[in-house]
Structure 1
């Protein structure tokens, strides 16, 4: 007797569909993303798209959620140190590295023209805020250590995030060149943000150096 029961979902196929869909969106725009094209790219039947996702809006939502999940995994893999300011800088570097490595998902995470014709709810857009938790805690440690002035740690974390997001967006778009390339702009902007939060300039520069260098100059993965 032939077994016609549904095949169980396979995480590797789901991940492949998400990555392929994000790549298609980035390279061909919303009009290029169809179940047929997506299935062809992954090497599965069109019904697989509906097996793993209820429809295209659900697929786009899954792309955004997956992007934030990968970001959170990268951030949580970073162990804290005795220098909370260096930890803040390190989290910023990880954010940048993750965006470059998963740049197609990064575009979906924050909506924009890449999602024209698809729908993300306000709840979907607020979903990724949980990835700021580690940064908020690092900022609180900076305050307790006397490096940052007392204030709203969540607001400071948002200010840091918005600034680094802007640099990363310009870098991915290819708008940062010598002599003010992405590494130079990143370190200069982070230093300004640290000092603006109350840190001493020399201590801020030392913490930036302690946090390590930026991402290696290599072709990032999709």
Structure 2
């Protein structure tokens, strides 16, 4: 998932993302970044105008990495399996970099950062792959007719809630078992109008694809 670059600005973003991923928000300081990158603390102000600007860049990097991961899911003749595979990729991305994920959806608590309308737009744009999959589910007769973006938002809210609870340690053993997650995906599809049998078949297909990518 690395987006390596010789650009000093990009290096600061990548190091900040790594520190967050490995050590959490407390690790993110101008002094630590200068030490890790071999630059001065002034570089943060030169390239980002200060720590809030760096946090914004890290959040956007996190969404770019998530978009890259979601983009690996290609359209198939089973659009519901595609939507399940996107959900699996989303969850995997969060578990691979939980601190980065937390900052992406709660960065306002770090270094005085405040989410802007453009930040929201970028975050929502990341979901375009999922949003574009839902109409195919409707056209295939698997989901009941409805506004695709509304369905996408509801599914995202439920998935994000599950992932956030997992990462916070509120669920049994810190995360659902594979069987529990399979049931969760099934219920998402059935709630959107799919049949139990078709949803279960699509889940099996999505998990098989995810395990072989």
TM-score for both structures, normalised by structure 2? 0.85
Provide the rounded CA distance (Å) in 2 between the counterparts of 1:179 and 1:12: 33
Distance 2:14 2:175 in 1: 36
Matched residues, number: 206
The yes-or-no answer on 1:177 pairing with 2:166 is: no
> Which structure has the higher relative contact order (CA within 8 Å, separation 6+)?
1
Q: Show structure 2 runs of 5+ residues with no match.
A: 1-5
Write 1 or 2 for the structure with the bigger share of helix: 2
Q: For the Cα contact (< 8 Å) 2:20–2:100, is it kept in 1?
A: yes
Closer, same or farther in 2 for the Cα pair 1:154/1:50, shift >3 Å? same
Deviating runs (4+, > 6 A) in structure 1? none
1:190 aligns with 2:185: yes
What residue ranges of structure 1 are gaps of 5+ in the alignment? 1-7, 217-222
Identify the residue that residue 3 of structure 1 maps to in structure 2.
Answer: none
Q: CA offset at residue 24 of structure 1?
A: 8.2
Between Structure 1 and Structure 2, whose CA radius of gyration is higher? 1
**Residue 57 and residue 11 in structure 1: after superposition, are their counterparts in 2 closer, same or farther (change >3 A)?**
closer
Check the 8 A contact 1:88/1:139 in 2, yes or no: yes
Q: TM-score normalized by structure 1?
A: 0.81
Cα pair distance change 1:89/1:20, threshold 3 Å? closer
The answer to whether 1:133 aligns with 2:131 is no
Query: Comparing 71-80 with 119-128, which one deviates more in the overlay?
Result: 119-128
Could you report, residue by residue, the CA deviation over 1:93-131 in whole angstroms, capped at 9, with x for unpaired residues? 000011111222211111167436322223323321011
